[in-house]
Amino acid sequence: MKKKKKIIKTIAKVVFHFAKKMPSSYNKYNFGGRIIRIWCAKHILEKCGKGINIDSEASIGENVSLGDNSGIGRGAVIYSNVNIGNNVMMGPEVFIITVNHKFDEIDIPMNKQGVSPIQPVIIEDDVWIGARVIILPGVKVGTGSIIGAGAVVSKNVEPYSVMVGVPAKLIKKRK
């Protein structure tokens, strides 16, 4: 059974490579791209909720979970070890990054120092992530938060926060 699952996962990854090139889920003529991407997600993702959407051109790493009624936006790049909760809205071209380049040794070029260990990212339930947001390694975005378009999130976000800017700063609380 384990071998069969592994084969299906491999097939799903190959199919996803082509399905992500299909038109956006919201395009009137998407030729079933949305349905194919959802099928692939059910076999690729660590956990795949109900009612999800993965839009075109999205890239997804290993060990990614996507909760019920959540979506990954067009052209998003989701690195490995990301947990996305339920009812999460994500705009286009969001980057969720879980590794970084090392730069501690000044006598060794940075491109020769490798990368840091993976720092998982957690997006809790009912979060709205605007277009072109960048979420950096190790960040936790709290329940009910809104991250404004173009923000760079380098620190944890408290629940029900509205964050904007570079670096992202709190502009108000929702409750």
Catalytic residue among 5, 6, 17, 101: 101
SS3 11: helix
Q: Which stretch of DSSP H or E encloses residue 15?
A: helix 2-19
Any residues with CB less than 8 A from the CB of 169 and at least 6 apart, and which? Answer: 163
Rounded Cα–Cα distance for residues 5 and 14 (Å)? 14
* Angle at which helices 2-19 and 33-44 cross, to 10°: 150
- 101 annotated active-site: yes
SS3 73: coil
Q: Which residues are catalytic?
A: 101
